[in-house]
Amino acid sequence: MMEWLGQFNYYVFAILMMAGIYVAMSRGNLVKKVVGLNIFQASVFLLYISSGKIWGGTAPILGDGLTQPISNPLPHVLILTAIVVGVATTSIGLALIVRIKEAYGTVEEDEIAEAEALYEEELIRAEEAEA
């Protein structure tokens, strides 16, 4: 009945995961990196939930006179907790970005590396001056 769809959801999952990896790796801006990681994370959610679905089924809530098949509740449980944990860890990432901005005055990766190199250079210079 549903042959024309096939593994469409899984293909979308693969594309979203590729997009997430690409954003997280290629963009220098830390906020954009975090958004990329979120896309990556949500693609995994999509994979799990898709694997639990039965076409024409219903949500795993029991009721009287239920005739349809029930979709698999187990992926729902795993992803439900993963979403809340995901936002908690994202907030840690955002807090780190805030601290980085305060310390370096920028959230661009290359500028941070530059500032760090200058800082280390200066430390070495100060040590040499002391010696």
- 102-131 residues in contact with other proteins (CB under 8 A) are 102-108, 111, 114-116, 118-119, 121-122
- Minimum CB separation of residue 124 from other proteins in Å reads 12
Closest of 91, 58, 62, 60 to residue 74, by C-alpha: 60
Cβ(43)–Cβ(20) below 8 Å: yes
- Minimum CB separation of residue 61 from other proteins in Å reads 5
Among 92, 127, 129, 131, binds other proteins (CB under 8 A): 92
- Cβ nearer to other proteins, comparing 61 with 131: 61
Q: Does 23 bind other proteins (CB under 8 A)?
A: yes
Residues numbered 56-85 forming contacts with other proteins, rule: CB under 8 A:
56-63, 69-77, 79-85
Which distant-in-sequence residues (6+ apart) come within 8 Å of 1 by Cβ?
A: 55
Cβ(102)–Cβ(93) below 8 Å: no
- Minimum CB separation of residue 96 from other proteins in Å reads 6
Cβ(97)–Cβ(31) below 8 Å: yes
Among 19, 44, 128, 129, binds other proteins (CB under 8 A): 19
- Minimum CB separation of residue 128 from other proteins in Å reads 13
- Cβ nearer to other proteins, comparing 62 with 131: 62
Cβ(79)–Cβ(41) below 8 Å: no
Treating both helix axes as pointing N-terminal to C-terminal, what angle do 73-104 and 30-52 enclose, rounded to 10 degrees? 180
